[in-house]
Amino acid sequence: MLRGLNVIISFPKGNNMSVESTAQILTAIQSRSQGVKELVKATQRRSQATVQLVHALRAQGLIASERKAGGRGRPRDVLRVTPLGIEYLEAYSRLRVVPLRATEGELRKAVEDARYAGRLAARGVDTFRAFMELNAFVRAAGHAT
């Protein structure tokens, strides 16, 4: 479910469609009106799964299909994003832009610390005990004169 919308977006039981998948499909359709076949190609998803997703999105009112006559042959169904779908995408963009607080260096340090903790555990050291000892040490250092 995506907060900030005045609708609750849910999917039929057994459908594992995520917010990200929904946004991906909507973005692909929005960038170019296309049929399901082209959509499968654009999103690199399995065709059966894509058909199911398209059905689910249509049922939710996020997309609609229009019959368009081509130059030759039968008219084809082309998908388009509805105003509700556009609202969904806008809410998704607002929520997705969450800046990372940690720097690359800080994340690297966290990785090093985790590897060290992993090595300690592999050597049979009780990491929770090490944590308690570290806490005790820091507290003692705080009281040291």
Partner 1 sequence: MSGLLDTLRRFTGLLDRNHVDYMVIGGYALPFYGRIRATLDLDVAVAVEDDEFRSLCSRAEEDGYRVSLGSPLNPYCIYLDTVTGFEVEVWRRPDGIRWDGETLRRRRRFSVEGLGIWVMSPEDFVVTKLARPDRSAQDEMDVKSVLERSGADLDWRYLRVRAENAQVWGILQTINGRT
Structural element, H or E, at residue 63: strand 63-68
**Residue 54 Cβ vs partner 1, minimum distance, rounded to whole Å:** 20
143 touches partner 1 by CB under 8 A: no
**Residue 102 Cβ vs partner 1, minimum distance, rounded to whole Å:** 4
Q: Which of 14, 104, 123, 143 binds partner 1 (CB under 8 A)?
A: 104
# binding residues, partner 1 (CB under 8 A): 40
124 touches partner 1 by CB under 8 A: no
**Residue 63 Cβ vs partner 1, minimum distance, rounded to whole Å:** 20
CA distances from 122 to 59, 113, 114, 115 (A): 52, 14, 12, 10
Nearest-5° Cα angle at 50, 34 to 82: 50
8 touches partner 1 by CB under 8 A: no
CB contact at 8 A, 2 and 96: no
Structural element, H or E, at residue 76: strand 76-81
Q: Which of 75, 118, 143, 145 binds partner 1 (CB under 8 A)?
A: 118
φ and ψ at residue 58, rounded to 5 degrees: -65, -45
- Where do contacts with partner 1 occur on this chain (CB under 8 A)? 1-3, 18-20, 95-96, 98, 100-104, 106-111, 113-118, 120, 126-132, 134-139
